[in-house]
Structure 1
Amino acid sequence: MRVLVTGAAGLIGAELVGRLAAQGHAVTALVHRNSMLIDNGGRVLPSREDALPAAGDIVIRHGDVRLPGLGLATPPPIDLLVHAAAVTSFDAPRAMLEAVNVSGTHHAIDVARTAGARLLHISTAYVCGTDDGPTSASHIGRRFTNGYEASKAAAEALVRASGIPFVIARPSVVVGDWAEGQIARFENIYMIFKLIAERRIRMLPAAEGATLDLVPIDHVMAGLLAIIAHFPALAGTSRHLVAATPTPVPAIRAAMARAGLGIPEFVPSAHFDPASLPAGERRWHAAAAALYTAYLLRNPRFEPGGPPLPACQPTDDAWLDRLIAHAVRAGFVSARPDKGVPASSAATPAPSECRP
């Protein structure tokens, strides 16, 4: 099958490109600036930048999802377009989210329609917004905690109204693989691990019963490949790619303690006042931790993807320990009590330091 993957240099995009090529698909990898594709194991994927891909090949094309035709003078002939390109930063400007996540989806739809191709759109389970409790794979919230969630909900609406064959895949918080915790990029929840371990942050608000739905990246890949293999049977639906069981917030505290990385204090949000924090911690909270705290205040229970998608491996304490252990081995997280920023000397971190 001839497949075009947008966002091919991203965490999900690069890993999916490698797996599709390994299955014998002819893959066109759309990138914006990056010409090197690195999979989740840190391996550079063999690719070229000329002609059309043959079976098992990866051909890189430079484009821009913000532009009509995805910025390609001549889009390649394709059978399937996997739209993985997105701005995922919670603090991204609204105009950027609109241009990439919403208009970019519109342009992907147009390319798929012109090519007579199917569309696999990669969204997020957190389009549920602030809604808690049992959450079906078709549910969309009414209120969102950040512009990223809102932009992905708007993009889904475009896909549903497109009139072309589509499936929407909704991963939750994508983290390391199940066997070893391996992850190519440390994003989202890993920043909380880092801030706690380095004693930048000691206190965070959390709701009683709150959970985080952390999903192994290999489960997400298996789900995406299953969707592609069974596309006709799934067309017109949304499917969650989520954890076997969500991670309770206290389990994160316990895992940090087991790893010797500090013990955060989670307090009810009604009792949490950022203004009462020491000056250094207050600055770190405002610039980084506050981007993620909304995810410590919710307890959505996502409906599993269901057959023909595979079941997720156990997302238990042992797996959480492997996630943290890999972050330590890679040098991203370390127990550094000496790095705590004194209130008198803390500098406000640059926004780029805290993007997921």
Structure 2
Amino acid sequence: MSARRTVLLTGASGVVGRSILRERTPAGLRIISASHSAPIPEAEEPPVALDMTAERFGLDADSHAALAAEVDVVIHSAGLTEWGLAAERYEPINVEGTRRVVEFAEQAGATVHFMSTAFVAALAQGAPVPLGEENVCRNYIRSKHRAEQLLRDSGLPHTIFRPTNLIGDSMTGWTSQGQIVQLMSDWIGRGRAPFIPAHPGIRMDFVPQDLLSKAVLRAIELGDEQGEVWVTYGEEAMNIETCLQLLVKHAAGRGRSLNLPPVVNADELEPDAIAKTPPMTRSYLSVLRDVSEVTRCSGGVLPTSMPELRERYGIPRVDDTAAYLASLEYAAEYLG
């Protein structure tokens, strides 16, 4: 490990990438930001344009080799994270893109830190119930699961970070763009949900994006080259009743009165309870039901590495309810 290390950050224009760039870069670390085309305001030096879906990232052989000669570490954050798409949509970047990162890292002799998802727990062999074939998250989760396997099979030094649903910065609520938590929360908070389909006992596990960013940079700083890190709250995560009460509090702060929708056991819904609602409502309710199913298939409570992150990496103890409220406030003020 050289005294000065250079990190290639893929997906630098995304939510995780920009959050990482906003953190204090550890001494002796240089970050090369990579993106296909989107701007990266936080980059400290001109970014490189890489196409993760193309051979050699779209570079000629000499340019690819020159980049590999510079890089000691790869943070692989590029990927398609939208849910509900056909399986083949995830293949080019989530799976083949990771394969190209593996090839690059082999040439560079680099360690890879891969941003996966905590939802892969739903596909574990020991999962208490199988994940439904029609679940809106399934194809996305499977693509991340396959990408993880590519890394394991490669023999490269690597870590896998598995964050749950990310929210904004733990203090300010800042995020570069709205995520599913903000979108769903705004919809519920405006009184548009006729009911909330959920499985009994599940937790609403939302983690501030800066906790993930701090953990990744600290792993690099310590020279970690193996491990699976669950960036979740686990047993500490709020339950659904607390989450809904926070939406009431947020709505009141914005001058609105929110009557809480009833929480309905997702397994006891009438067959057409969701299907007979208007199209947008049907879409949102389906996502709520399917994400709840993912959590149930993960045991109801997601696995967590939070105690180890606090002890080994010095990740601050952040109350998830306060961070959630900050994220709601930021989204309402700046994300429309």
TM above 0.5, yes or no, is: yes
Matched residue SS, 2:46: strand
What are the Cα deviations for residues 295-314 of structure 1, in whole angstroms up to 9, with x where unaligned? Answer: 23432232315142234523
Q: Give the C-alpha shift of residue 172 in structure 1.
A: 1.3
1:127 to 116, 120, 129: 120
- 2:104 is matched with 111
CA distance in 1, matches of 2:53, 2:24: 25
Do the aligned residues in 2 keep the contact of 1:8 with 1:84 (CA within 8 Å)?
yes
- 1:151 is matched with 143
- 2:263 is matched with 266
What are the Cα deviations for residues 160-200 of structure 1, in whole angstroms up to 9, with x where unaligned? Answer: 11111111111111111222322222111112112223343
CA distance in 2, matches of 1:98, 1:225: 28
More helix by share: 2
Q: Could you tell me which amino acid in structure 2 is paired with residue 114 of structure 1?
A: Q
Listed as ranges, the matches of 1:1-356 within 5 Å are 1-19=5-23, 23=27, 25-34=29-38, 36-37=39-40, 44-45=41-42, 47=43, 57-73=44-60, 74-75=63-64, 76=67, 77-129=70-122, 143=131, 145=135, 146-231=138-223, 234-243=224-233, 245-260=236-251, 262=258, 263-273=260-270, 275-276=272-273, 281-297=277-293, 298=296, 299-305=300-306, 306=308, 307-330=311-334, 332=336
CA distance in 2, matches of 1:173, 1:95: 23
* Backbone CA RMSD of aligned residues: 2.7
What are the Cα deviations for residues 214-255 of structure 1, in whole angstroms up to 9, with x where unaligned? Answer: 111121111111111122xx3231112223721211111111
TM-score of the superposition, structure 1-length normalised?
Answer: 0.78
CA distance in 2, matches of 1:83, 1:150: 17
After TM superposition, the structure 1 stretch with the greater mean CA deviation from structure 2, 88-97 or 296-305, is 296-305
TM-score of the superposition, structure 2-length normalised?
Answer: 0.82
- 1:52 is matched with none
CA distance in 2, matches of 1:17, 1:69: 24
After TM superposition, the structure 1 stretch with the greater mean CA deviation from structure 2, 304-313 or 60-69, is 304-313
CA distance in 1, matches of 2:241, 2:47: 43
Matched residue SS, 1:59: coil
CA distance in 2, matches of 1:322, 1:122: 24
What are the Cα deviations for residues 121-177 of structure 1, in whole angstroms up to 9, with x where unaligned? Answer: 111111101679xx9xxx9x9747421111101100000111111111111111112
- How many residues get paired? 307
